[in-house]
Structure 1
């Protein structure tokens, strides 16, 4: 059989986030986005399966890895009918792999050390998977950090919370996005690191079966995209994707959850790297045709 010279099929080859290059953490440079997986099962979570989230999110992200494929090298904003200049994405997005499994205290220590080193290097950590306790570990690695939380249980009163799950139960989302954006500007202290926690439970009721914490109300995809695009324009030190449980019954339900999170995360990635932000608050990529 002859060697293949054309681009690999999307499902083939080494699995990394969006087909990004792999790097050692010591090689992460200022301005990079460094992806890190946490394949860890939190015994305090309501259901098992969170350890599968990093691989599931990487598998879904492969469909958006156009920057590594010459056939998809010219993304277009289908709304504005404009090309998006994304030169350098493949150089600035990298995948560090997963934190090695082990005793719980060692996992927390490794996550704290990795987050701290990525931040010291002037890069942003994109953490796939994790639990409430692991998000606290990330916060502890960023001294005096501010936390912006999309979904998830209501946390510290000092955090900026977007559609939180009050007391771990249901809450109706009646958000005025413009007013909250103004409130966020007042809340943000640029002298402190910024940590973003993006939990699947932020999405609206019709998608509530996707996560372990069903809710009343929530945000639609456009609203979440607007927030992640806005947050990406700040110097975020780390963003953590939580709440996804690929072990839940129903392949269709699982795939929708993965696609929602990766699609919304694209807005953050493009804004964080300075791509497609002529129209703040809107996803500008060829992938919004896939949402």
Structure 2
């Protein structure tokens, strides 16, 4: 297997090795092992996402498991997703097959980022939500993070993904807003960390330290945000998680992915 480019980052290597050696879940469900580049786990994920498996030749595939393996492979190597999908059925040819739809919807953002997917490829109602996120309309108006936080606004993950395309109008985001914000709002801060005051950044770091009590998606988003201005704080968490894994502990896949690769939450 070709190693992901992420393994070249020396500060992440201990965690990668720890995760690769840990067996959080029995095969064929060890998606964290896939993201870590474990040969056996990667092979299982590739098998689970083969045309034969997605067609349900042997057993009916579960949509959630299909999506999980797509994300795990993408965390290991974005090139693996490009190669894999080049052998898949075209989206328009599998619209009545839920596993195929789930696979394409999950892979879409990675292919779009790699310049291997056009809007026309997903021109069908089944992919409408993903199209709206990847190609946001001009009708979306910028949001005020401070106001959303003040109002206690909580978003579903799909809502947060869609609204993130609108951008934020805040020129400065202060600590009180970050402290009271619902975790689902963190997705709106992607690419906006320059607007955070020093105090607001400190609050984000503090909230990240409580990752074990957070939703894994929100915790993963916090890793991405904090890494933009305080990578040392994230490296300290990598070390803690590596020791925990070596001691037989577990870590949710999204959180593991952002700590050991360049994968980002949808």
Q: TM (normalized to structure 1)?
A: 0.31
- Name the one with the larger strand percent: 1
- Name the one with the larger helix percent: 2
